[in-house]
Amino acid sequence: MSDVSRPSPAGVRTAAVIPAAGRGVRLGPGAPKALRALNGTPMLIHAVRALAASRAVSLVVVVAPPDETAEVKSLLDAHALPERTDFLVVPGGESRQESVKRGLDVLPPGYDIVLVHDAARPLVPVDTVDAVIDAVRAGAPAVVPALPLADTVKEVEPARTPGEPEPVLATPERARLRAVQTPQGFDRETLVRAHETVTDNVTDDASMVEQLGLTVVVVPGHEEAFKVTRPLDLVLAEAVLARRRLNDGF
Ligand SMILES: Nc1ccn([C@@H]2O[C@H](COP(=O)(O)OP(=O)(O)OP(=O)(O)O)[C@@H](O)[C@H]2O)c(=O)n1
Ligand SMILES: C[C@](O)(CO)[C@H](O)COP(=O)(O)O
């Protein structure tokens, strides 16, 4: 049994920041990605429910597309969400990193552990969320869920002209590689310092903590925590939801 299903250690509270302000260019034209429906419910609501399913999470900060903050607030009001969880909505920025920073900026005092979770990973199981929180509670300053890779990975010299063949530079040893997911979990002070210190644009929050010289640890991720990025991912997400409904017997 995860430690997280037990009451929080006295005074230790966990908040989740959900960056949801991206357009979803790779998914194709349409509404901002987080507002697109999966089986009739916006992807963002699935992601919020997934994080709020953890009994340890008592605050969820949604970082919304700047023109859609009112709509996001209405969606949160319209969908059944746990009463023990508080919600805040703030407008996002130009990059994922800036959006996460905006979420961190509005966190009230008293939250010592912060999770950062992509709205684009709507189906993460609660056990994965709890495993990340457990590892932060155990003392890691930064924790990422990750999976081994199925494909061999090549480092290439990127083509200068699109479509040109790309020369391979190296083949990293696959057994040492992991595909990193979210939620990523942090000691709050560490994550805030990373966002204040690191100025290059990076693709995840944990790599900012690596740049501080601190150790980031990996816990097992989950296949269902995949990121909805391209159109085929929508088909997969709806298939996962259909399988869950069958397994739940309704
Ligand atoms: N300016 C941005 C860009 C991204 N995100 C969020 O960061 C997460 C991961 O980003 P990604 O999957 O790349 O989403 P998009 O940026 O929307 O996708 P694309 O690159 O295809 O436009 C998503 O939940 C997305 O909403 C954000 O909050 N603010
Ligand atoms: C944070 C992340 O989901 C970890 O895999 C990923 O780096 C986000 O990348 P994106 O290109 O912004 O989707």
Average pLDDT over residues 188-203: 96
**Residue 193, CB-side half-sphere exposure with 13 Å CA sphere:** 13
Question: Residue with structure tokens 């250690």?
Answer: 9
* pLDDT of residue 6 exceeding 60: no
Average pLDDT over residues 61-73: 98
pLDDT tens digits, residue range 47-56?
Answer: 999 999 999 9
Q: Is the confidence metric ipTM above 0.95 for this complex?
A: yes
Atom 11 in ligand 2: residue holding the nearest Cα:
203
CA distance 205 to 42: 25
Residue 111 inside a domain? The answer is yes
Count of domains observed in the chain: 1
Structure tokens at 47: 């992601």
Q: Look at residue 233 in the predicted model and tell me its pLDDT.
A: 98
* pLDDT of residue 200 exceeding 60: yes
Tell me the CA distances in angstroms from 72 to 3, 128, 130, one per residue in order: 32, 25, 26
pLDDT-derived band at 1 (thresholds 50, 70, 90) equals very low
* pLDDT of residue 72 exceeding 50: yes
| Ligand 1 site, CB within 6 A | 19-26, 33-34, 63, 92-96, 99, 118-120, 227, 229
* pLDDT of residue 3 exceeding 80: no
Residue 155 inside a domain? The answer is no
- Give 21 Cα–ligand 1 centroid separation in angstroms: 6
Domain that holds residue 126: 3-146+178-248
Residue 162 inside a domain? The answer is no
Q: Look at residue 248 in the predicted model and tell me its pLDDT.
A: 87
- Give 29 Cα–ligand 1 centroid separation in angstroms: 14
96 lines ligand 2 (CB under 6 A): yes
Percentage of the chain beyond pLDDT 90 is 93
* pLDDT of residue 5 exceeding 70: no
Cα torsion 184, 231, 90, 5: sign: negative
Q: Which atom of ligand 2 is nearest to the CA of 227?
A: 3
Residue 8 inside a domain? The answer is yes
CA distance 45 to 195: 26
Contact 220, 125 (CB under 8 A): no
Q: Look at residue 203 in the predicted model and tell me its pLDDT.
A: 95
52's enclosing H/E stretch is: helix 43-52
Residue 171 inside a domain? The answer is no
Average pLDDT, the chain: 95
Beta-carbon count within 10 A of 184 CB: 26
Q: Which of 92, 138, 94 is nearest to 116 (CA)?
A: 92
Could you tell me which residues come within 8 angstroms of residue 21 by beta carbon, excluding any fewer than 6 positions away? 32, 34, 63, 64, 65, 66, 91, 92, 93, 99
pLDDT tens digits, residue range 178-193?
Answer: 999 999 999 999 999 9
- Give 23 Cα–ligand 1 centroid separation in angstroms: 6
Residue 84 inside a domain? The answer is yes
182 lines ligand 2 (CB under 6 A): yes
Residue 21 belongs to domain with CATH number = 3.90.550.10
CA distance 88 to 1: 30
CA distance 87 to 81: 10
Residue 152 inside a domain? The answer is no
Q: Look at residue 224 in the predicted model and tell me its pLDDT.
A: 98
Residue 156 inside a domain? The answer is no
* pLDDT of residue 10 exceeding 90: no
Starting from the CA of residue 97, give the closest ligand.
Answer: 1
Burial class (CB in 10 A: 0-12, 13-18, 19+), 206: buried
pLDDT tens digits, residue range 114-166?
Answer: 999 999 999 999 999 999 999 999 999 999 999 999 999 999 999 999 999 99
Contact 119, 128 (CB under 8 A): no
Torsion angle, CA of 161/163/169/175, rounded to 10 degrees? Answer: 140
pLDDT-derived band at 11 (thresholds 50, 70, 90) equals confident
Q: Look at residue 74 in the predicted model and tell me its pLDDT.
A: 97
Q: Which of 148, 201, 208 is nearest to 184 (CA)?
A: 208
